[in-house]
Chains A and B, each alone.
Chain A
């Protein structure tokens, strides 16, 4: 990016992983904190030259996905070949993602400084109109930092900058200090995450909606899988504390016969009703329901996180911009959260480059608003869809169960719809339907 090479960047992050050279012992079992990156995110990483580092460490592409629920009324299977692609996504440990980005910036020559510290306070410059142009007294004390934002860090450093990018997560301090309002609610659900082991390799992403929340089994490579199990807070405390064998039994139960029957291969006779015209039928429409591979061992500690939805009403103000979870926090049920964040990051970097091309001041709201105009609608739409799913699946009510099953069937057998869904979830398509 030649237009932005001259920019001086400070990264403020107290995460200790930033200090040392990233090194991972390949014998370590996978860390339960993982992200499922979509093909769109993979191509962003390739564009900046960071994906090569990920390929040197553990990562797991997958090309199949199965979604079903406890009612046994329906299921849907997706295959990357439905949209003529090779993968639906890749599951990567967060520490590998961090490490690859760190290696990437270390090998790029632009001015960057890492401050392993926390942000304590932020002072934004007053707007020029308040500088009193009709005052006859002498000019205010000449400070070349008058037009810059001042950041005070917990280690005592003070930084001056044109643009503060708040990428500090759901409990963003930047967002708090800059006074952005948020709306949202807490889901009365927690997620337990952990790594488990099978006797065979898992090549498919599985998600089963249970009455209290979905359980997801994501392939990580080398016979390991990652579990993300959403449930109410009381159950999450129990499950975290119960002994490992009981927990493994519980997991297998949840993925197999627990809570309800397996879906039969089709509800309304064979799927031929929906599979005309034959020519456009997706490969996976002919797939039968499969049971996920059995878990034999727990391979990591169990971690519990509360789930919530949060959205900042603005992403942008003078000198400050929010990206990622600082701007929007979502339910993990579709693995979209971090991908929305990467989408934000790449959109912002492009908007900054475009602004520099026409000599703009990168802290100006007019420039930053272009980023907001691009990302906010896309993020809100995705959040609405995910929240809709969360609410639809949190009610166990006969007629609603049948409606959901019909929707699953539709998503499985109606090929154009299925292609749209896969393209949207992979980050290829901007709108969920009808483009």
Chain B
């Protein structure tokens, strides 16, 4: 799924920051924070695309792995990794041009507060990108039953279906956090080709791109 998520991020951020998408490093000069970075699966490609990247994760082990892997390549060794949360970063008064939190919000206790933290980290007219799983019958069947119990793509209990957000809910809580959603897309998986692609089907996995309102 990662290349597909990156394609969406590349397209929306290039358009928003008026960068040429045909360059190999279009994000030069852009400060991005990857909230819930895990092992760096998103941070590293962003760094290769020229961004100044900060990766944060609440789990110390993930940060350790991310640092070791990133240090292998001089291009990615510039990524700053911290074991912390979005809320703590807000307390430190950090600000970024783009705040990206992929597949995180479905795991937090209070999504509305989380969105407020993400908004606080974003500069005015900056970008906020969130991806998550829709709360729908279809997502119950695919993301939980199929992914966790049948195909074993994820450990059982990774996701709690009742904490999934619908796109409408996500747009609303982002609006309340002063972020206006501009674009939304879905990810679909084709078992025939084994590939993910961007689509307007937001019934299961979806991603939103929003901008912080200027006050």
Contacts and interface: CB of A to CB of B under 8 A. Distances in A.
A4 B22 CA distance: 10
A128 B45 contact: no
Interface of B: 2-3, 6-7, 10, 21-25, 44-49, 64-65, 68-69, 72-74
A147 B47 CA distance: 16
Contacts of A279: none
Interface in A74-122: none
Given A357-B10, A359-B49, A2 B22 contact: yes
Given A357-B10, A358-B7, A359-B44, A128 B72 contact: yes
B24 A358 contact: no
A358 B73 contact: no
Interface in A1-58: 2-6
Given A133-B64, A146-B72, A360-B3, A2 B23 contact: yes
Interface in A138-166: 144, 146-147
Contacts, number: 46
Question: Main secondary structure on chain A at its contact with chain B?
Answer: loop
A395 interface: no
Contacts of A283: none
Given A147-B73, A358-B7, A3 B23 contact: yes
B3 A358 contact: yes
Interface of A: 2-6, 128, 131, 133, 144, 146-147, 356-361
Nearest to A144: B74
Contacts of A146: 72
Contact of A358 (B10, B23, B69, B74): B10
Top 8 A-B pairs ranked by shortest CB distance?
A359-B45, A147-B72, A358-B6, A359-B48, A359-B49, A2-B22, A358-B3, A6-B24
A39 to B, nearest CB: 28
Contacts of A358: 2-3, 6-7, 10, 45
Contacts of B6: 358-359
A358 B10 CA distance: 7
Contacts of B72: 128, 146-147
B48 A4 contact: no
B45 A3 contact: no
A131 B65 CA distance: 11
B73 to A, nearest CB: 5
Given A128-B68, A128-B69, A147-B73, A4 B45 contact: no
Contacts of B69: 128
A133 B22 contact: no
Nearest to A4: B24
A131 B44 CA distance: 19
A356 B10 CA distance: 11
Contacts of B65: 133
B7 A356 contact: no
Contacts of A359: 6, 10, 44-49
A4 B21 CA distance: 13
A359 B100 CA distance: 16
Given A128-B69, A128-B72, A146-B72, A360 B45 contact: yes
Contacts of A6: 24-25
Contacts of B10: 357-359
Contacts of B64: 133
24 contacts: A3-B22, A3-B24, A5-B24, A6-B24, A6-B25, A128-B68, A131-B68, A133-B68, A144-B74, A146-B72, A147-B72, A357-B7, A357-B21, A358-B3, A358-B10, A358-B45, A359-B6, A359-B44, A359-B45, A359-B47, A359-B48, A359-B49, A360-B45, A360-B48
Nearest to B72: A147
Contacts of A131: 68
A177 to B, nearest CB: 22
A6 B73 CA distance: 17
Contacts of B48: 356, 359-361
A2 B68 contact: no
A388 B65 CA distance: 51
Given A2-B23, A358-B45, A360-B45, 15 more contacts: A3-B23, A6-B24, A6-B25, A133-B64, A133-B68, A146-B72, A356-B24, A357-B10, A358-B6, A358-B7, A359-B6, A359-B46, A359-B48, A360-B3, A361-B44
Nearest to A5: B24
B187 to A, nearest CB: 14
